[in-house]
Structure 1
């Protein structure tokens, strides 16, 4: 199957290749019941050496920067308590950690979660974290621009492989909250 975005010659509906995904992502895809049909969640096999956005765009072309998103895990602190959350923004932007995220989560301080924490708690690989299959109860802050993208290229939970899905899917994920101005 040809992909709706990117120069990829072959994509597989993610429900047909759950063994290529990390267990939490496979559970999320396998149990998906949102308005976007599960068959529209596509998996593309890619080289893990170019998983990072800059390397991926350099290899496949700059047009992918406007068709992809990044998912980052943040730690919000207030009154001695820490809340972990995930943020999804277009790859051409950065997460407004000290503004939009801090205000939305009501935190005194927000920072990127340590790599070890993000990997351990999500069950995903660093450089491939995706909003599909996040731990129950985590806030998922999604920049409205991601929802408005026809299709989005994002991590698959592993450094090898990417997910391509309609932007509207990201507003349907558990815990998703659309935020204008999450990206700067």
Structure 2
């Protein structure tokens, strides 16, 4: 397992998952979950406290893409050691004139998840999930659970197999 956490099957701990995540567990059958201190949900603090290497942690950011007055949303998955190239690769991939991180209130309302815990498992249908190729290659990675008080552990290849997921070279290293 990764870090000093006690991981268990996510399907047996719906209490540690946001509603949309629990409902979508069939798309991530290998997912394991561990409870954490919600004050340590942010990546750097989490990794330090629980002994999880940054390269075994993946962040999910919600991007708002605008074109012709229309706004669409996508999720980007990058390792904690990297940053998503939102203004370059992501914007072009989504065919948008402008792309930026979605405001916190918008991201939480649209996903039904807590800020700092947003994960690609259980996102609204039709949202593109852009998974950086380094996430897939990393093996098992820690991601949000939809709540700040827990984390999911699953294979990067599981993220690449989620509905609407696409593997893209989207990270700035």
Aligned-partner Cα distance in 2 for 1:124–1:46: 16
Hey, what does 1:183 align to over in structure 2? 171
Q: Give the match for residue 66 of structure 1.
A: 55
Task: Quote the offset at 1:57 in angstroms.
Answer: 2.1
Q: How does 1:36-47 map to 2 (within 5 A)?
A: 38=29, 40-47=30-37
Shift of 1:19: 2.4
Q: What is aligned with 2:103?
A: 114
Q: State the TM-score, normalizing by the size of structure 1.
A: 0.90
Instruction: Tell me by how many angstroms 1:60 deviates.
Output: 2.6
Task: Work out whether 1:92 is the aligned partner of 2:88.
Answer: no
Give me the TM-score of the superposition, normalised by structure 2.
Answer: 0.96
The Cα offsets for residues 3-38 of structure 1, whole Å up to 9 and x where unpaired, read as x21122x21100111122111000011x33x6xxx2
Instruction: Using the TM superposition, give the Cα deviation of residue 91 of structure 1 relative to its aligned residue in structure 2, in angstroms.
Output: 0.7
Structure 1, unaligned runs of 5 or more: none
Report what 1:26 is aligned to. Answer: 22
CA distance in 1 between partners of 2:132 and 2:122 (Å): 18
Runs of 4+ in 1 over 2 A off after TM superposition: none
More strand by share: 2
Which of 140, 152, 165 is matched with 2:141 structurally? 152
Shift of 1:183: 0.8
CA RMSD, 1 decimal = 1.1
> What CA distance in whole angstroms lies between the structure 1 residues aligned with 2:16 and 2:83?
28
The number of aligned residues is 172
The gaps in structure 2 that reach 5 residues or longer are none
After superposition, give the CA deviation of every residue in 1:146-166 in whole Å (9 maximum; x if it has no partner).
111110001110000000001
